[in-house]
Structure 1
Amino acid sequence: MPAAPYVRDLEREVSTRLAAIADDAAAGALEPAIALLADAIAAGGVVQAFGTGHSEAFAMEIAGRAGGLIPTNKVALRNVVLHGAHTVAELAGDPPLERDPRIADDLFATIKRDPADVFIIASNSGVNGSIVGTALLAQEHGHPVIAVTSLEHTARVEPKHPSGKRLSEIADVVIDNRAPYGDATLEGPGGVSVGAVSSITSAFIAQLLTVGVTHRLGTGDKPAPLYLSANIPGGDEHNRALEDLYGERIRRYA
């Protein structure tokens, strides 16, 4: 049975966006972000990766996966429960905690920071209170901020932070994930759009940044600090030895 037309339609929506991101990267568009990340690691810092909702997948691509950089930490809203005074019920509250600008202070307080750390924050809309608040706090404390966001989407929605700012208006470096307004790309039955692409494009950006930083930092004698898969012989031992250099500054749970 031949594939339904939507298969090729979604393939086209994804592949054209990935190609555009690759073209930009090949032309050097990601180099400012790569430089910030590499300089932070070279100075003994950690990459603090943060995203809420589906953008948490971006932080997971950056922090703690095979082939990824070891000096990376995934910041998550649940940390205000695990390491703060908030309750589990608040995470499932209405409106969502990610929209509350007040949570940024409590979340930021859970991060074990070093002056050399750099923040990379992903948000498709780039307007929620926790995202904007965390970016502002990072800058206030002297940390560079890299944003991964949809420039098309964020320009069409109102900021939810009291500052009136969007993530893209705060960050030192902004990377466009190329997702359209609303994220979905295809018209579904009943006129509701389907086929969201921001998770796919952002994951590609995360891997391009990781590869770029690895090449900038690594040499034949001293390769960049990278994870091996824990599911190959010697992987756990290799990873733990390098993780121990950063102690509790990197968290690998929840």
Structure 2
Amino acid sequence: MNHFFDRLRYPTVAHEILDRIVATQRDAIERAVSVLTDTIRRDGVVHAFGTGHARLVAHEMAGRAGGLAPVNLVRISDLVTRGGADPGLLDPLAERDASLAEPLYDLHRPRAEDCFVIVSNSGINAAVMEMALLVRRHGHPIVAITSTAHSTSVPSRHPSGQRLVDLAEVAIDTGAPRGDAAISLGDGLATGATSSLAGIAIVQLLTEGVCRALLDAGVTPPLYRSMNLPDTDAGNAGLERRYRRVHPIEA
């Protein structure tokens, strides 16, 4: 007897995406690990930025169990919650507004020793591109997480005509297909988005890679422990004091 679950293709698609990352992105991930490790060893901060669903991937880097403490999450919504902008700014199409990048960059006040991880599956939206241009102008290295298949098949929405992959020191390809949804249902319908799954796997590979590179250099990785385990609050608070400009807390 056939089970309904047996018709579902997402498990196969997910395995294919992850296998493709391991098979094709090893060099890019190793180079990205080097960029991030150098930043942390210089007491710099990794700024993680994404819009749309790419925010999930950026968020995976920041403030979570097993994650690196010197990671600062950058979101368009920060302009509302921390910068006093009109809440109407939170329209989903805000990622197409290039004018948001500069005040957002200024709000987070990156330093010369910092780097950026910028996540955008399409790699074409104006806010992402303007942020990447600002980051490059200020001399920060960029690690991009993006889909080559999607990005190269559609025009840029930035006046420069450039895409995220054009500005990154290192670009890691998610392998997500054009349009992201990987499972055809017929009649032009598709489901099974893959970019978040791929991006989160890449972020975890980067995090583990940085930890191992720091250990190889004799440096203890500044890692959060789960706040839902006993006796972890004090250690996590110590990390936040060390990286006060990422986590502004009372002394």
The answer, yes or no, to whether TM exceeds 0.5 is yes
- Equivalence map 1:43-58=2 (5 Å): 43-58=42-57
Distance in 1 between residues matched to 2:86 and 2:111, nearest whole Å: 27
Deviations 1:10-52 (Å, cap 9, x if unpaired)? 1111101101112235x43311100000000000000000011
Partner of 1:179: 176
Deviation of 1:92 after TM superposition, in Å, equals: 2.1
What is the deviation of 1:83?
A: 2.6
Q: How does 1:132-151 map to 2 (within 5 A)?
A: 132-151=129-148
Do the aligned partners of 1:118 and 1:145 also contact (CA within 8 Å) in 2? yes
Tell me what 2:95 maps to: 98
Q: Give the deviation of 1:82 after TM superposition.
A: 2.1
Q: Specify the alignment match of 1:4 in structure 2.
A: 5
Letter in 1 for 2:236: N
Aligned residue type for 1:158: P
Report what 1:214 is aligned to: 211
The 3 A distance-change label for structure 1 pair 139 and 250 is farther
How has the CA–CA distance of structure 1 residues 184 and 6 changed in structure 2, closer, same or farther, with 3 Å as cutoff?
Answer: farther
Contact 1:112 1:248 in 2 (8 A): no
- Identity across matched positions, percent: 39
Name the counterpart of 2:63: 64
- What residue identity is the alignment partner of 1:133? E
- Distance change >3 Å, CA 220–CA 136, structure 1 → 2: closer
Q: For residue 41 of structure 2, what is the amino acid of its counterpart?
A: A
Opposite residue 184 of structure 2, the aligned amino acid is: E
Summarize the Cα distance change of 1:251–1:112 in structure 2 as closer, same or farther, 3 Å threshold.
farther
> Which letter maps to 1:132?
M
1:2 counterpart letter in structure 2:
H
CA contact (8 A) 1:112 1:249 kept: no
Q: Deviations over 1:148-186 (max 9, x none)?
A: 000000001111111111001111110000100000011
Contact kept in structure 2, 1:102 and 1:130, CA below 8 Å? yes
Map 1:125-164 → 2, pairs under 5 A: 125-164=122-161
* Secondary structure of 2:57's aligned partner: helix
Q: CA deviation at 1:103?
A: 0.9
> 2-side partners of 1:212 and 1:10: how far apart?
27
Aligned length: 248
Paired residue for 1:195, among 185, 192, 199? 192
**Secondary structure of 2:4 counterpart:** coil
Shift, 1:249, TM fit: 2.7
CA RMSD in angstroms comes to 1.8
> Alpha carbons of 1:53 and 1:65: their partners in 2 closer, same or farther (altered >3 Å)?
same
Distance 2:228 2:64 in 1: 11
Change (3 A) 1:155 1:10: same
